[in-house]
Amino acid sequence: MKENSNKHLFNAIVDNVMKYIFFICSIFAVIVVFSICIFIFIYSLPLFKESGFFKFIFGMDWQPSFNKFGIFPMIVGSLYVTILSTLIGGGFGLFTAIYISMFCPKKLKIVLSQIIDLLAGIPSIVYGFFGMIVLVPFLKNISPNGVGEGVLASSIILGIMILPTITSISRYNLEAVYKYYYDGAVALGSTHSQAIFGVIVKAAKSGIFSAMVLGMGRAIGETMAVMMIAGNAPFIPKDLFSYFRTMTINIALEMGYATGIHRSSLIATAFVLLLFILLLNIILYLIKGNHINFDFIASIKDLFFIKNIKKNINEFSFKNIKMKNVSIKSDILKYISIFATIISTLFLLFIVLFILIRGVPYINFNLLFGESNNSQMTLFPAIVSTAMMLFMSLIIAVPIGVFSAIYLTEYSKANGKLIYAIRIFTDSLSGIPSIVFGLFGMLIFLDLFGLGRSVLAGSLTLVLIILPSIIRQTEETLISIPASLREGSLALGASKVRTIFKIVLPCGFSGIITAIILSIGRIVGESAALIYTSGAVRYMPAGYLNAGSSFAVMMWMFSSEGLYINQTFATASILLMIVIFLNALLFVLNNKLKKDY
């Protein structure tokens, strides 16, 4: 009896201790978001005190040598390219999502889904290099002023980059619409296309708009890809072929040598960028707060049977068209979705095949494992540096992310409002641009902790970048585990913590592995956040306290030199092969480890 009492007491103590550990891990994202905002703001104050906030954001001149710091041209450039890229990527992404989710045969659907996932995993530096080598020369031939770089090139590349995000989220929301809405529309006389474009798409409009907002967040925060094809002149773009500079480019170009008030102005630029990201997050949560209203059955009925049919068509279908034209319009939209899917798929295949065909022949033993010195650059230091950063960042981020997800799922009933707040901050952390993470890492790990540009500083910065995706992926997996498994374990006398570690986590193993693989892809492809934290050097790191370049940073160095074009293609090919391998591994593991409850 006494032994049972002691056992229950021990279990209660362990449960309470682990609960607080889970809680501390869960609020880590909250602490990071607040820390980023506070530190960026504090380091921006010298500029705000000298120039003033409004003079800074509305100033037209950026001339650091004359202490003129106006970022209005960069704000306009950022918004210009963000809007255009969202129109391009949003249009193609939405229609691709409609085709894959609503028209595509099952076997082809699997293939296209994998292609879209592959598109999402390609590092931004590869997109930028493709734009620089292929798109810019093409646009130069058709440009009225003989310039290929600028707004149009950047918008096209960014549109391709955000297309997978918009496609995936739109597809999820389209497939989440209740099937009986479609059945009701068909029963009332709609064709398949009419039911999709007149009912399903409209029912999913809130989720689709959320996808567009997330795409805009990705576009406005992109650095490396745009920097390679924008021209980077700090002026307001006058047309599609004008050189321009975004806020992220401004930070990346000048932070390496900036001091004093110049440095403060670049950090203040990051603060303004954070305000834009915050605005997008607010818009996103306002959309999510107004839950999708699926009361469309009455509208369908009215569409076909109410005398005032013109009014109902205006509200529910296409404006100012007769009923007999609805089917034609729906069929046209169907073929547009097919066309958009074909273009998106072919463009991806072209990018992948072009890079591989040009790059694979130049992959050799010397490039991979040769000595990197003043006379030549090789990838061996990048291989070692990337492996070191992978190990350090994952060994820190995975436990924190998994424990955070455990608290959000297993203790959500007791602290509903707190859980909601933590999720908001976690999502906000995932939306912060990489260059801001890099800036924060530089301020904290280099300036405050004195680590200098090192593999350790880069690893700690990467922890902040990959943590949100680990939390969300693990949380979604744990939520999908039936409550009956937990209840059965508890009914047999197991403690809550024992149930979590013996029942819940093993069942969620596939989701955790998925999160780790996705994080590996993010780490391997990251560049903007590492240039000013881990460094951009060609030498082998002697340890974690030495500078080291990742794969993506080394590729950027190859392309920047201008003398290593073949090595740049080879590095891009290696990055693509890593992405393809990780996507294939994910597909196999998901099929092997997937559990049907």
Q: Give domain status of residue 408, yes or no.
A: yes
Q: What is the pLDDT of residue 375?
A: 81
300 and 373 share one domain: no
406 and 334 share one domain: no
The rounded distance, in Å, linking the Cα atoms of 389 and 462 is: 8
Mean pLDDT of all residues in the chain?
87
Q: Can you tell me whether residue 52 is helix, strand or coil?
A: coil
476 and 524 share one domain: yes
Domain boundary among 339, 362, 385: 362
Higher local confidence (pLDDT), 544 or 418? 544
Q: Give domain status of residue 27, yes or no.
A: no
Q: Give domain status of residue 593, yes or no.
A: yes
Q: Give domain status of residue 474, yes or no.
A: yes
441 and 316 share one domain: no
340 and 371 share one domain: no
Position 317 pLDDT exceeds 60: no
Position 314 pLDDT exceeds 50: no
Q: Give domain status of residue 419, yes or no.
A: no
Q: What is the pLDDT of residue 240?
A: 92
Residue 435, φ and ψ in degrees, nearest 5: -65, -30
Q: What is the pLDDT of residue 136?
A: 95
Name the band, by pLDDT with cuts 50, 70 and 90, for residue 380.
very high
113 and 173 share one domain: yes
Q: What is the pLDDT of residue 3?
A: 59
Position 324 pLDDT exceeds 80: no
594 and 457 share one domain: yes
Could you tell me which residues are beta bridge partners of residue 231?
244
Q: Give domain status of residue 15, yes or no.
A: no
Domain that holds residue 513: 363-413+433-597
Q: What DSSP string describes 242-303?
A: --B--HHHHHHHHTTT--HHHHHHHHHHHHHHHHHHHHHHHHHHHHHHSPPP---HHHHHHH
Position 146 pLDDT exceeds 70: yes
Count of domains observed in the chain: 2
pLDDT tens-digit series, residues 83-124: 999 999 999 999 999 999 989 888 898 888 888 888 888 999
Name the band, by pLDDT with cuts 50, 70 and 90, for residue 297.
very low
Average pLDDT over residues 475-485: 87
Higher local confidence (pLDDT), 80 or 421? 80
**What CATH number does residue 449 fall under?**
1.10.3720.10
Q: Can you read off the two tokens belonging to residue 42? A: 């504090």
pTM score of the predicted model? 0.88
Q: Which residues contact 538 (CB under 8 A, 6 or more apart)?
A: 372, 373, 377, 381, 549, 554, 557
Q: Which residues contact 420 (CB under 8 A, 6 or more apart)?
A: none
- How many CB atoms lie under 10 A from the CB of residue 597? 8
318 and 465 share one domain: no
586 and 439 share one domain: yes
Check if the beta carbon of residue 243 is closer than 8 Å to that of residue 230.
yes
594 and 482 share one domain: yes
Average pLDDT over residues 264-282: 92
Domain boundary among 325, 340, 362: 362
Name the band, by pLDDT with cuts 50, 70 and 90, for residue 5.
low
Centroid of chain to Cα 279: 17
Min mean pLDDT across 196-205, 299-308, 340-349, 470-479 is at: 299-308
Q: Give domain status of residue 427, yes or no.
A: no
pLDDT tens-digit series, residues 209-237: 888 988 999 899 999 999 999 999 999 99
Average pLDDT over residues 413-420: 75
Name the band, by pLDDT with cuts 50, 70 and 90, for residue 420.
confident
The rounded distance, in Å, linking the Cα atoms of 212 and 215 is: 5
Q: Give domain status of residue 314, yes or no.
A: yes
Q: What is the pLDDT of residue 296?
A: 41
Name the band, by pLDDT with cuts 50, 70 and 90, for residue 381.
very high
389 and 532 share one domain: yes
pLDDT tens-digit series, residues 20-41: 999 999 999 999 999 999 999 9
164 and 260 share one domain: yes
